[in-house]
Chain A
Amino acid sequence: QKEVEQDPGPLSVPEGAIVSLNCTYSNSAFQYFMWYRQYSRKGPELLMYTYSSGNKEDGRFTAQVDKSSKYISLFIRDSQPSDSATYLCAMPSEGGSEKLVFGKGTKLTVNP
């Protein structure tokens, strides 16, 4: 089983929609979770990080962790065309906490 699984999409939504992006993971010891955003022809950049269980909110973005189900989510409220990007979940690799393992990324398009 891969450490991190992420549905690659693509996902296309109308402007203003609520978007839900998800990842599952295999190592129950993970304590730290990240979401990166990657615009076309750019490198990924950190969007949000969260520790352990629960929610973290930052403007229109909410990161949620369900450790019992080994499931993390990123919600985008009132989605905008500028949110169109690929979103990658990330967490420390089982091989060492100094490395990150990334999901495959979900490509999101928000249509005006």
Chain B
Amino acid sequence: DADVTQTPRNRITKTGKRIMLECSQTKGHDRMYWYRQDPGLGLQLIYYSFDVKDINKGEISDGYSVSRQAQAKFSLSLESAIPNQTALYFCATSPPGTADGGEQFFGPGTRLTVL
């Protein structure tokens, strides 16, 4: 079984709809991250969390919110989706105590299209 799973894998939605992307991990890591990836822009950090009570904004958090329901679960919500949020979204985890960011383990991604 995959260590980091994301659901759904693909989603098409309409402008203005609320949508939630879910991430679960079995690695036992405390740190979890949400990124979006756009062609030509690379990976951009949306939100990150170092434990259940810790939520931090990344470089592009506007229009997004997150919820850390448990150590193993980290959800990303788009309250009112807009077309420029069409992108590939990745969840990642990393263990605590690793120097300088350490290795991050990525899920398979969710391809989101907002019409």
A32 close to B101 (CB less than 8 A): yes
- Taking CB atoms, residues of chain A closer than 8 Å to B103 are 34, 46, 49
Binding site for A on B (CB under 8 A): 4, 31, 33, 40-43, 45, 48, 50, 58, 90, 92, 99-101, 103-109
Residues of the B chain whose Cβ atoms lie less than 8 Å from the Cβ of A46: 103-104
Contact of A31 among B41, B100, B104, B106 (CB under 8 A): B100
Q: Is the CB of B50 within 8 A of A98?
A: yes
Binding-face segment, A14-22, A37-45, A65-73, A74-82: A37-45
Nearest 8 A/B pairs, CB to CB: A43-B106, A104-B42, A32-B100, A102-B43, A92-B100, A100-B101, A92-B101, A97-B100
Kindly list chain B residues whose C-beta atoms are within 8 Å of the C-beta of A97: 99-101
Contacts of A100 in B (CB 8 A): 101, 104
CA distance A93 to B48 in the complex (A): 13
- Distance (Å) between the CB of A35 and the closest chain B CB? 11
25 contacts between A and B (CB under 8 A): A32-B99, A32-B101, A34-B103, A41-B108, A41-B109, A42-B109, A43-B4, A43-B92, A43-B109, A44-B90, A45-B105, A46-B103, A46-B104, A88-B42, A91-B101, A92-B100, A93-B45, A93-B101, A99-B48, A99-B58, A99-B101, A100-B104, A102-B43, A104-B40, A104-B41
